[in-house]
Structure 1
């Protein structure tokens, strides 16, 4: 197996360009390990012991329990590979620990990485693109959801294997809708409708809604208007060099958001999605926007108190065709591990993508299946019948029009860009700056950081 060439990329410099913050492309190629027999089970170690695959992940709580079940089922299904799943903290913490391990063999065989880490992972040249295993195995990727593959494809190939996938939806309290004289089966579909509904729902010590100051949602608002977040085809036709945060899509979104906060129909509860979720479950707000990843937990927590309604992410009336960008994470194979380990990781990746496993994962988390046939599984059918809210995210995914906007932006400094975006939102909602001024300031800083990053990777 060919190891990473340290002269090719100064990893320490590359890592230093990314300021990590708390949060949920291109021409570079990955490792050159060639899985000539990727379609075969991973070869057992010489000692006769099974090959050990270490998997670093960022799934905690109920998600972590579901991960442990998947790992246990895989290990029990065959004797050649044993997967050891190790929780590494948040997505950001997981990435930081991976960076620290890149110049050694102390890291994992396989790592779960959030979607905004895609550009960085490719640029490290520390991975073996899963496309090599797909080609060698003649693995049929058409069984996977096209809109999910669309995000993780760069230069026409997959560098990682999708795993946990979500998108943002509108959550609303049907009981509060009825009390306000609103049709509980017709959630707001546009910015204008959401603002109108929020006013009608604001009464009796309860507000119409709250949106967490989370840059992921801003990225979704852009895509839903068919707008790109960075130049050069959202960083997909060539490396991004400029942030487009201050474009009409951004200004329109932040102006709408600010107006609702000003008229007190929308509360500003800060950056933590958990805070808006708690307010929603307590009946303090009637609407919120959040990831489908927490859908099962929200529906269960509201049971006996009120019925949770779900709807598509709203967009401005008359906006261009667009849709949502997938969120979540995918799995990468590190190229400084043995060939046997890499093949073992690939076997596990295929297991995770199996319809039965995806059905279990979806029903027990809120992430939707990456595999189309998972929807035919009785477990999913029964869950959809009992919890029709789960269908919203799936329908929204399928309704999203493929484009560079909905494919999602890629840039090496995405975590930093999110931090700067959230700061700009705070400045506006707190009355310190006008929407265009705040977004222009953030866009300028993001553009500078993109340039610094591109220099480190020679782009």
Structure 2
């Protein structure tokens, strides 16, 4: 009888042992804003990391567009339910920086967890955007892009245009030819109106958008983009809008389909548009660097990045932070960065990944994926081209776009519109500065 009891107890113990995991897996929530093919990349990265070890499980969750994801993360932090990792677009950087207690700076996380981390391994034009003035990385660059000019090569051929335009005057002339060749509603256009026509335009020509290195050196920055270059460019768009040589396509990227449909044969937007172009365009296409005004001294300079980075949220356990650090190290692997670059069109964030893609001859067959890298590294960044870090940037862009729209509609001159955009924007910056000082 005693033997039977012992045997029964042993069976129960064995079953319980099988039912109980050897150790608990630490879950890492990752909220993001990626859709379509880029969502597939995120899911694959999480799955590959989870398969590579048994201590942590990264769980990616789509939370809407960039602004929605950032707002959801901040609201969740206040409610005590924030994810461990939050993807935030580049214009949300200043807001995240001053969210006291809400974030764990990446440089501190990596130092505390002892994970391998060398800030110098990353492309400085990318990391500079997400670092302090001392070079300390606050967030982890993830999907970085820049503005490029997408070109319908079949349309250029139809209009007898032999070469892709390099300067703004050439773009304007070619757009008139394209319009005459049958592209009646749009010779050229752009998405992200303020990013392309104010932020990138200023950096590409080495003129300031704002003081204090466009806000990177202090929140007491003041907007100054109502200068001769920006006014001249907006006036050109106003004049060309009248007969649709240029045609406005909205504040965000909702108008990008005008390029892939064939309506707008020249279109400036993010290099991250690659996935949609490669799948949807039914014509021969490529991209090229942003145009520049050839009479502006030393232009072109270098472009600044768009896209997003990964912020580590505050208030998590040491176990979660160890897992997050492991995951960021995993993402930094050279081969993994090359995969992300090739699969998504976003930039490799490390010098080694860029070098490997070049060594493999990847850009011979895919030159359009190197265009933004060439722009970002065209020259050593200056005070005017390191990037920008302005408080309330989402709201600022809306104000700037509103004034540009007034000008394009003929209700204001270019100078009046940009003067108003600067004046209204500076009021908002002072409000942000007072909030930070509290």
Q: TM-score, normalised by structure 2?
A: 0.88
Contact 1:400 1:406 (8 Å CA) reproduced: no
Is the CA contact 2:86–2:310 (under 8 Å) kept in the aligned structure 1? yes
Hey, what does 1:83 align to over in structure 2? 58
Instruction: Give 1:114's match in structure 2, choosing from 81, 89, 114.
Output: 89
Distance 1:335 1:319, change over 3 A: same
> What is the Cα deviation at residue 361 of structure 1?
1.3
For the residue of structure 1 that corresponds to 2:166, the secondary structure is coil
1:283 and 2:258 are equivalent in the alignment: no
Q: 2:132 maps to what in 1?
A: 154
Does the 8 A contact of 1:58 with 1:88 survive in 2?
yes
1:141 maps to 2:141 = no
Corresponding residue SS for 1:289? strand
The answer on whether the counterparts of 1:57 and 1:87 sit within 8 Å (CA) in structure 2 is: yes
Q: Distance in 1 between matches of 2:192 and 2:147?
A: 14
SS in 1 for 2:219: coil
Which of 211, 220, 226 is matched with 1:231 structurally? 211
Partner of 1:197: 174
The alignment yields a C-alpha RMSD, in angstroms, of 2.1
- 2-side partners of 1:411 and 1:151: how far apart? 11
Please give the TM-score of this superposition, normalised by the length of structure 1. Answer: 0.84
Match of 1:96 in 2: 71
Secondary structure at the counterpart of residue 405 of structure 1: coil
Match of 1:178 in 2: 157
| Residues in 1 aligned to 2:339 and 2:276: alpha-carbon distance in whole angstroms | 15
User: Matched residues in 1 for 2:309 and 2:154: separation?
Assistant: 37
Q: 1:131 aligns with which of 107, 115, 120?
A: 107
The structure 2 residue matched to 1:342, chosen from 314, 321, 328, is 321
Alpha-carbon shift at residue 237 of structure 1 (Å): 2.2
Cα distance in structure 2, aligned partners of 1:137 and 1:341: 13
Does residue 214 in structure 1 map to residue 190 in structure 2?
no
Query: What secondary structure, in the 3-state scheme, does the structure 1 residue paired with 2:59 have?
Result: strand
Mapped contact 1:105–1:337 kept (Cα < 8 A) = no
Q: Which runs of 5+ in 2 are unaligned?
A: 1-20
Paired position in structure 2 for 1:40 = none
- Number of the residue aligned with 1:359: 338
Q: State the distance in 2 between where 1:330 and 1:261 align.
A: 35
Q: Tell me, what secondary structure is at the counterpart of 2:73?
A: helix
Q: CA shift at 1:103, angstroms?
A: 2.4
Per the alignment, in what secondary structure is the counterpart of residue 434 of structure 2?
helix
Question: How many Å apart are 1:272 and its aligned residue?
Answer: 4.5
Measured in 2, the distance between the counterparts of 1:383 and 1:76 equals 28
Give the CA deviation at 1:255.
Answer: 1.3
Q: Which residue of 1 aligns with 2:286?
A: 309
- Deviation of residue 243 (structure 1)? 1.6
**Which whole-Å CA distance do the structure 2 matches of 1:371 and 1:384 have between them?**
17
Structure 1 residue 415 corresponds to structure 2 residue 394: yes
Q: Which moved more, 1:205-214 or 1:416-425?
A: 205-214
Determine helix, strand or coil for the equivalent of 2:380.
coil
Gap regions ≥5 residues in structure 1: 1-45
Q: Which moved more, 1:394-403 or 1:424-433?
A: 394-403
**TM superposition shift of 1:383:** 4.8
Task: Give the whole-Å Cα distance in 2 for the aligned partners of 1:381 and 1:138.
Answer: 26
Deviations 1:56-88 (A, max 9, x none): 111111111110000000000011111111111
Match of 1:285, SS state, is coil
Three-state SS of the structure 2 residue aligned to 1:267 is coil
**CA 1:318 to 1:378, structure 2 compared with 1: closer, same or farther past 3 Å?**
closer
Larger radius of gyration: 2
Q: Which residue pairs with 1:70 in the alignment?
A: 45
SS of the counterpart of 1:402?
A: coil
For 2:370, what is the secondary structure of its paired residue? Answer: helix
Tell me what 2:25 maps to.
Answer: 50
The match for 1:269 is 249
Residue 298 of structure 1 is matched in structure 2 by: 277
Q: 1:380 to 1:48 in 2, by over 3 A?
A: farther
Report whether the alignment pairs 1:433 with 2:412.
yes
The number of equivalent residue pairs is: 409
Cα deviation code 1:376-409 (max 9, x no counterpart): 5579946534332212122222214311222111
